[in-house]
Amino acid sequence: MSEPESSSKIQSPNITKPEEQVSSIPNVQLEKRTKYSQQVIEYMQDLGISEKAARKLVARDLMIERLKNQRDKYKDIALHDTLTRLKRRDIAIPDIERQIDLFKNGQINTIIIGMADIDYFSRWNDLFRSHKLGDQGLIGFAQILNEVMRSEDMISRFGGEEFVIRLSVEKNMTPEEANELARGKGIELGKKVMQELLDRVLIDNILDGQRKIPIDKWDQNGARLHEREGTVVLREYARNLIEMRSRENGVEEVVMKGKGSNEEKDELCRIINSIDLSYYEEYLADERSIDEFDINDPNSEDTKALIRRRELEKMLVDDIRKVLRQSTCSTGFLVITPQDRNQIKSAEQLKGIADRLMYLAKSSGRNRVAIQTGIIQGEEPEIISIH
């Protein structure tokens, strides 16, 4: 028998999961049966080689597949923010630099750079003294950004609640058309955030979310118990709000750590102090995890208790909605025109101008878009209020 070709040139059979393999394996005698016996047999039959040689080839295939998966995993980590799944901040600046090169070479006539963030985001974290709800808010905001922007646009989480946007433009797009595109996307983003963000976070993730997470409790057999993630978040909120209210000037002390005007902080203090805490203690009294309820009988006391817990959770979510108010965002867009060709210095410069526009929008009130056409602008940037 002639020697088989080098393994590097051999066409590998498909490595499938055990449950995907065919149930009937050809009648070939193997020294041992494993979950990859099907692939071993295919190599033996196709190449006329021994079982030992076939197993080496299967092991090679599995190693290649594992290395490919690791490569894809680390490539994904390098390119995407682990929380929001948007591009990492390291991607944003090089992306803008490429747009500048295209612009200076005359391949495009305009550049549109934007910055966006969630208004008064410190409330999300101050309310819980953690980042659990804030993280859900960032995920929801990122989802909305992906829905509003187009697949050819670049969206990057630059840090915290700040996001960089680079809108894709056609080669001969005029400054007027670019301004209209930025205006349309800014307004669409503001409306969608105002209408959907809170519901996505509070309803989808807190009330309706069914993901169970392990907690530091065990049953009598030593098995670890699990709790619904939304319940864990709401218990944390209830405890923190009670503590804020129980300390002398506690609310003001906590809120003053956040950003925003004194008027905004005073308003938040008034809202927190106006909340009725009568049912908070009831909610915290039953500390059983979701695994500890016996709800097989719809008329059992456990079933009634779990239904009551869900009712109290809805009341807590309504209170959170009062504290956070209607979610809004601030956005700034800079539209670069052909007249700016000699004014461009770097991607950081353009990002910095868009950043200032975003904060100009924020200082003008909730849910605003600021648009500036040209680096050197004689008139004030346009401020659009979204209702």
The 10s digit of each residue's pLDDT in 69-115 is 777 666 666 666 888 889 888 889 999 999 999 999 999 999 999 99
| pLDDT for position 198 | 92
Q: What is the mean pLDDT of residues 351-362?
A: 95
Q: What is the mean pLDDT of residues 170-180?
A: 92
Residues 201 and 133 sit within 8 Å (Cβ to Cβ): yes
- The verdict on 283 and 195 lying in the same domain is yes
Long-range CB contacts for residues 54-63, cutoff 8 Å, separation at least 24: 56/7, 57/7, 57/10, 57/12, 58/15, 60/7, 60/12, 61/12, 61/13, 61/15, 62/15, 62/36
CA atoms of 54 and 7, how far apart (whole Å): 10
- The verdict on 20 and 130 lying in the same domain is no
Among candidate residues 79, 99, 132, the one where a domain is terminated: 79
- pTM for this entry: 0.76
Residue 70 in any domain: the answer is yes
- The verdict on 160 and 27 lying in the same domain is no
Q: What is the mean pLDDT of residues 170-193?
A: 95
| pLDDT for position 9 | 42
DSSP state of 18: G
Give the range of the structural domain holding residue 45, as residue numbers without chain letter: 7-79
| pLDDT for position 304 | 93
Residue 41 in any domain: the answer is yes
- The verdict on 90 and 18 lying in the same domain is no
- The verdict on 73 and 90 lying in the same domain is no
User: Which residues on adjacent β-strands are paired with residue 370?
Assistant: 332, 383
- State the pLDDT confidence band at 294, using cuts at 50, 70 and 90: confident
| pLDDT for position 380 | 83
Residue 2 in any domain: the answer is no
* pLDDT tens digits along 185-243: 999 999 999 999 999 989 888 888 778 889 888 888 889 999 888 898 899 899 988 88
CATH number at residue 358: 3.30.70.270
| pLDDT for position 139 | 92
The rounded Cα 295 to chain-centroid distance in angstroms is: 34
| pLDDT for position 244 | 84
Q: What is the mean pLDDT of residues 42-70?
A: 85
More confidently predicted of 24 and 374: 374
Q: What is the mean pLDDT of residues 182-186?
A: 97
- The verdict on 144 and 192 lying in the same domain is yes
- The verdict on 292 and 321 lying in the same domain is yes
- The verdict on 294 and 361 lying in the same domain is yes
- State the pLDDT confidence band at 2, using cuts at 50, 70 and 90: very low
Residue 56 in any domain: the answer is yes
Kindly tell me if the per-residue pLDDT of 253 is higher than 80. Answer: no
Among candidate residues 38, 58, 79, the one where a domain is terminated: 79
Total domains in the fold of the chain? 2
- State the pLDDT confidence band at 64, using cuts at 50, 70 and 90: confident
Q: What is the mean pLDDT of residues 147-162?
A: 93
Residue 349 in any domain: the answer is yes
- State the pLDDT confidence band at 20, using cuts at 50, 70 and 90: very low
Q: Which amino acid is it at 321? A: R
DSSP 332-386: EEEEE-GGGTTT---HHHHHHHHHHHHHHHHHT-SSEEEEEESSS-SSPPEEEE-
- The verdict on 27 and 127 lying in the same domain is no
More confidently predicted of 297 and 144: 144
- The verdict on 222 and 126 lying in the same domain is yes
More confidently predicted of 123 and 169: 169
Q: What is the mean pLDDT of residues 270-288?
A: 91
CA atoms of 164 and 159, how far apart (whole Å): 9
- The verdict on 20 and 74 lying in the same domain is yes
